[in-house]
Amino acid sequence: MMPNRPDEAKSDKKPPLLPVAQALAAILAPLPQTNTTTKPLDKALGFTLAKDLVAVLTLPPQAVSAMDGYAVRAADVTSFPCKLTRIAESAAGHPWTGKIGAGQAVRVFTGAAIPDGADTIVIQEDVDPVVEQDNVEITVRSAEITGRYIRPAGLDISAGQVILPAGTLLSARAIGLAIAAGLTHASVRVRPRVGVLSTGDELVSPGELPGPGQIISSNAGFLANFVSACGAEAVDLGIARDVPGAMLDAVRRASNLDLVVTTGGASVGTHDHIVSDLGSSGQNALHFWKIAMRPGKPLISGNVDGIPLIGLPGNPVSTAVCALVFLRPAIAHMTGGTASSLQFLMPLAVDLGNNDQRQDYIRAQITTKDGVQVIMPAPRQDSAMMSVLATADALIVRPPFDPAKAAGEFVSVIPLPDLG
């Protein structure tokens, strides 16, 4: 079912709004995956793996000490105090290659290879005296259990192990792991080219002085950065004015787009033309319009000249929330990844009334009440109030027809670092 097409608005009975989960599934289904390419790891930040990364090396390559101290045989430190003879030193990058015998100890430092024959580390705090010369007697006052403070070979990763699966968005942490595992390159998905188009006669570009009735186009700047953070390439399509066909003209001036994202022009006013520009079939088609979501009801899905299009509402908060819920998963889908937002439960700081038929995303701040972290909804939830979104820590997610909640009851929360 494709609810809420323009011709259906003439019906006396309004069709039901499309649920958020169904809208997301409908957006993702037709999206193609991008091609693959090979990137050096030092140039792969923000790309998504097309193939598993498999470790070439084992880490650590041999058993190493986790502490500064002495490598000994456990059989020699069963009663205390006991005397041992320091015979050598092993440091990171400078292993001692001999074998420890009865009554002997080797001075070791953090990261040093464990000598053959040793199976226990006595930390230097438990030894008298700590001297930095060989062939001297030391006194061990206590020792931990066998194997304590020893990192065995392969504790972190083993050669042949999949360390990062296909679909992973490469972060600095992930790249550091891959390099440590002996890798230099990765097969990744080509970044989708996402055209970002603002619409509206009221908009002027950043840096211009707004005239009467005008505002600066901020959604495009947000979306460009958001798209880049999601692992895609943002293409600025400028501002389309409120005339029929302007959206189509702006898209056609670009080339090699994989996805188009518009902001504004999605409502029912006489100056909103995105829906009518999409038409009803062929290369320009409306898939759905309006969903059971707050903010973000007038979301659009369609295609323009065969290119998938997501039409976001023009109010900045609606744009941002819909980008998190729909655009981020869309980019992840095109690059073979997943982008489910982290959700957890938190107690409410105040009472909340009943919810209606729309899934609600309430801007909120995390605060402390009686020593417990709680979630406090912003007193005003106007979808045009960027200041509320900018200072919010999280979104409270309320399903349709969620009953009233009292302070202290738990609600589902999405942290907002994902929005940048």
How confident is the model over 267-300, as pLDDT tens digits? 766 777 888 888 755 688 899 999 999 999 999 9
* Helix H or strand E encompassing 68: none
Cα distance between residue 122 and residue 116, in whole Å: 16
What's phi and psi for 335, nearest 5 deg?
-105, 15
Sign for the CA dihedral angle at 166, 169, 173, 178 comes to: positive
Quick check: 209 and 65 in contact, CB under 8 A?
A: no
Q: Give the per-residue pLDDT at 131.
A: 73
Name the residue with tokens 């091609």. 35
Which is nearest to 251 in space by CA: 302, 287, 191, 298?
A: 302
The mean pLDDT of 305-324, rounded to a whole number, is 95
Task: Provide Rg for the chain, Cα atoms.
Answer: 30
Cα distance between residue 116 and residue 355, in whole Å: 68
Buried/exposed 178-209: b ≥16 CB within 10 Å, e otherwise: beebebeebbbbbbbbbbbbbbbebbeeeeee
How confident is the model over 76-121, as pLDDT tens digits? 999 999 999 999 999 999 999 999 999 999 999 999 999 999 999 9
Cα distance between residue 175 and residue 188, in whole Å: 13
How confident is the model over 7-41, as pLDDT tens digits? 434 445 677 899 999 999 999 999 999 999 999 99
Which is nearest to 94 in space by CA: 109, 104, 78, 82?
A: 109
Q: Give the per-residue pLDDT at 4.
A: 39
Per-residue pLDDT band at 418 (split at 50, 70, 90): low
Q: Give the per-residue pLDDT at 396.
A: 98
| pTM of the predicted model as reported, rounded to 2 decimal places | 0.87
* Helix H or strand E encompassing 251: helix 246-253
In this structure, what is the dihedral angle of CA atoms 4, 339, 319, 363, given to the nearest 10 degrees?
110
How confident is the model over 241-263, as pLDDT tens digits? 999 999 999 999 998 999 999 99
Quick check: 239 and 265 in contact, CB under 8 A?
A: no
Domains of the chain, with CATH numbers? 6-34+191-334 (3.40.980.10), 36-59+156-189 (3.90.105.10), 64-151 (2.170.190.11), 344-419 (2.40.340.10)
DSSP state of 416: G
Tokens of 228: 């880049």
Cα distance between residue 224 and residue 221, in whole Å: 5
Cα distance between residue 264 and residue 198, in whole Å: 6
DSSP state of 100: -
Q: Give the per-residue pLDDT at 37.
A: 98
**Per-residue CA distances from 119 to 113, 144, 204, 279 (Å):** 12, 11, 71, 75
Question: If you write DSSP's letter for every residue of 125-140 in order, what string do you get?
Answer: GGEE---SSSSEEEEE
